């Protein structure tokens, strides 16, 4: 036996082409923010047009948003673990937890920006923007302007993201600037408070700096993010941009197709996750157990 694909439909199939969608390596329980039905429909439109391969980077975009969300949830869980040990008269010191928290924050932002990189290269081809190499990047104002000039629908939302995509911004409300700071010059600069406060026990500075904020900086929303707020702020923009692009792709593909597809006949009632698994020849299988 060769490679097989496992699905949540209690079946095993040797070919991903038999699936109703092209969005492989996605666990749908993690990304309820996107419409499974829309992605099945877009996949069928792409299959009918024979251009499934052109969507590989859009699939990769969602895959990395999924990874970003997992990393963000890990950061929230780590902070919650530490806070459970806190008490008014106890200072909690958790070296491992604090390091894990920093790594999770970094992974969240790094995967978020990586998803945008995949999306940029996808749009460059799909919209025929003609950009080359490093010019296919949302960090480039010229790339964003080109997207806006080629597609009013996607462009309208891109224009609302100017600060979020500003590579020169010195605050962590820019995913691009935050990724650059944490990857190339520093790291998530987070001090543990050792106890629970209104901002949590691991507040994230809003100013991007390689130095720890001084003790005179007020612990307020003006200067810090709560972990959940930081996570929600960036993740909402990632998902919304992805959904805007998916909806626009559907509209464009519908106009291209000579034969309409009946959406109401598509198999969308059971969400099917397609992930690779290698079959081992000398194992006799009695049962396949799906973890939920």
Residue 8 in domain: no
Domain assignment of residue 282, yes or no: no
Tell me the pairing of strands 12-13 and 3-6. antiparallel
Q: Is residue 264 part of a domain?
A: yes
Torsion angle, alpha carbons of 154, 160, 165, 167, to 10: 130
Mean pLDDT in runs of 10 for the chain (292 residues)? 46 55 96 97 95 97 98 98 91 96 98 98 97 97 98 98 98 98 94 93 93 86 97 98 98 91 90 85 78 68
pTM equals 0.91
- Any domain includes 288: no
Q: Quote the pLDDT of residue 12.
A: 45
Q: Work out whether strand 275-278 and strand 3-6 pair parallel, antiparallel, or are unpaired.
A: antiparallel
Q: What is the pLDDT of residue 59?
A: 98
pLDDT of residue 292: 65
- The number of distinct structural domains making up the chain is 1
In eight-state DSSP terms, residue 32 is: T
Residue 5 counted as domain residue: no
Is 2 contained in some domain?
Answer: no
* pLDDT score, position 260: 85
Residue 257 lies in a domain: yes
CA–CA distance from 238 to each of 61, 118, 180, 241 (Å)? 9, 12, 17, 5
> What residue numbers bound the domain in which 148 lies?
20-273
217 found inside a domain:
yes
**Would you give the distance in Å from CA 9 to the centre of its chain?**
25
**Which segments within the chain are labelled E, that is strand?**
3-6, 12-13, 204-205, 224-225, 275-278
pLDDT the model gives residue 18: 67
pLDDT of residue 276: 87
Residue 145 falls in which region: left (phi positive, over 0), alpha (psi -120 to 50) or beta: alpha
């Amino acid at each position: 036996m060769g490679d097989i694909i496992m699905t949540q439909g209690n079946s095993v199939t040797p070919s991903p082409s038999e699936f109703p969608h092209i969005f492989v390596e996605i666990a749908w329980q993690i990304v309820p923010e996107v419409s499974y039905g829309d992605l099945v429909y877009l996949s069928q439109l792409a299959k009918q047009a024979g251009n499934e391969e052109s969507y590989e980077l859009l699939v990769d975009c969602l895959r990395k948003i999924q990874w970003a969300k997992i990393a963000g949830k890990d950061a929230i869980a780590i902070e919650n673990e530490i806070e459970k040990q806190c008490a008014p008269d106890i200072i909690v010191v958790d070296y491992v937890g604090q390091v894990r928290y920093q790594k999770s924050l970094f992974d969240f932002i790094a995967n978020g920006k990586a998803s945008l990189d995949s999306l940029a290269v996808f749009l460059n081809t799909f919209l025929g923007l003609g950009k080359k190499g490093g010019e296919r990047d949302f960090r480039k104002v010229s790339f964003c302007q080109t997207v806006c000039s080629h597609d009013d629908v996607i462009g309208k939302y891109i224009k609302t993201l100017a600060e979020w995509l500003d590579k020169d911004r010195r605050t962590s409300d820019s995913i691009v600037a935050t990724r650059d700071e944490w990857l190339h010059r520093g790291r998530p600069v987070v001090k543990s408070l050792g106890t629970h406060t209104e901002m949590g026990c691991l507040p994230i500075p809003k100013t991007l700096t390689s130095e720890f904020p001084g003790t005179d900086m007020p612990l307020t929303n003006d200067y810090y993010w709560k972990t959940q707020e930081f996570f929600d702020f960036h993740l909402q923009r990632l998902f919304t941009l992805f959904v805007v692009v998916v909806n626009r792709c559907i509209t464009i593909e519908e106009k291209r197709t000579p034969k309409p597809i009946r959406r109401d006949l598509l198999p969308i009632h059971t969400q099917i996750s397609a992930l690779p698994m290698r079959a081992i020849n000398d194992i006799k299988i009695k049962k396949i157990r799906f973890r939920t």
